[in-house]
Structure 1
Amino acid sequence: KFNEHQQVSRIAERIARGEDIALISDAGTPGISDPGFLLVRTCIQQGIETECLPGATAFVPALVNSGLPCDRFCFEGFLPQKKGRQKKLIALAEEERTMIFYESPFRLVKALEQMAEFFGENRHACVAREISKLFEDFQRGTLKELIDHFTENGVKGEIVIIVEGKPKKEEEESE
């Protein structure tokens, strides 16, 4: 995380010298919410051919199994931890597509509380945990219900949060 730019340059130089390099991740598809995209971008900029083989990506099964609309969505990955977090949430409050976030189990309740503050506590959401693993779990409900659940029960594992987009005006009026 803290030396990714130096590592990318070093690896790109090795590839340019003729070495074959594979980028493999133990946390889903490389390049999705990790610095792997920097290596791909650098290689493309330097005219180095890249190839991507499909692999596991936690957000796709989390989205599909959330029960929320998945015809239009935006992947936000990890929210900024400090600087820019509030500004990002304010901007996303108007997003009409289903939103996908990654979050640490240690920051889950705080993230849900902030989403409830900016999106409204009645916004529907799903917290998917440990996708495709032994303890896979999906908790669905309003942001308020999810805050209550995870405050009471705690959470472990890799987390994907799926939040419904802002309802369109005609949907709000018909409710």
Structure 2
Amino acid sequence: MNTPTEQLHPPVMAPGDYTRYKIILGGLGIVVPLLVAILFYFKGIFKIDGADAYLRMLPAVNAGLNSLTAVALLIGYYFIRRKNVLAHRAAMGTAFALGGLFLLSYVAYHSQVESTHFGGVGAARLIYFVLLLTHISLAVVTVGLVLFTLYFALTGQYTKHKAIARWTFPVWLYVSVTGVIVYFMISPYYV
């Protein structure tokens, strides 16, 4: 028997072969962070002469995308708490699209521009590196969490969606907010 949510808001995507989808999503959850790391650490291989001059504004763009993602996540949370599923879907779809744009912008920047080193000292340095370490670590996990949360929503597996979203939402929000904080802390040191 369908729940009221399933009756009012049918799945966007036919469930199909769940195992195949889970393997694909699990693979993406691993491959995407690995590709980002490869592009980041082996930037010399993928370097395009002169590209860095055009990409210098991307950290500010990334901070803006992270800010907008955080706002979309909070709006989505607000709407689902009020049982407005359609508005929740729109807000979370917006957060997903902004996250995708952020990922493309982040990879473009970090694959072409040399890393900026934080110049702060004392407590500011400790705070920066704690935020950066937790931000990066959780960003890696966020990819898989977001993909599975979205998958369960699109296939109408609302119980599973709700269960994983309880983890995805705070982690994704933390990653988005700390991304902005890290940007503001390091921005004085950009060349």
TM over 0.5: no
TM bucket normalised to smaller: under 0.3
Task: Report which structure shows greater RCO (CA 8 Å, sep ≥6).
Answer: 2
TM-score (norm 1): 0.26
Give the strand-richer structure, 1 or 2. 1
TM-score (norm 2): 0.24
